Chain A
Amino acid sequence: QKEVEQDPGPLSVPEGAIVSLNCTYSNSAFQYFMWYRQYSRKGPELLMYTYSSGNKEDGRFTAQVDKSSKYISLFIRDSQPSDSATYLCASGLTGGGNKLTFGTGTQLKVEL
Chain B
Amino acid sequence: ETGVTQSPTHLIKTRGQQVTLRCSSQSGHNTVSWYQQALGQGPQFIFQYYREEENGRGNFPPRFSGLQFPNYSSELNVNALELDDSALYLCASTPGLVVTGELFFGEGSRLTVL
Contact = CB atoms under 8 A, between A and B. Distances in A.
Interface residues of A, number: 29
A104 interface: yes
Interface string A47-72: 00100000000000000000000000
Contacts of B100: 49
Looking at A8, A88, A99, which has the most chain B CB atoms within 10 Å of its CB?
A: A99
A97 B107 contact: no
A77 B62 CA distance: 45
A78 interface: no
B33 A98 contact: yes
A95 to B, nearest CB: 8
Interface string B40-53: 11111100101000
Contacts of A45: 105
26 contacts: A6-B42, A43-B90, A43-B106, A44-B90, A46-B101, A49-B100, A49-B101, A90-B42, A90-B101, A96-B56, A96-B99, A97-B33, A97-B50, A97-B55, A97-B56, A97-B97, A98-B48, A98-B56, A98-B94, A98-B103, A99-B58, A101-B45, A102-B43, A102-B44, A104-B40, A105-B42
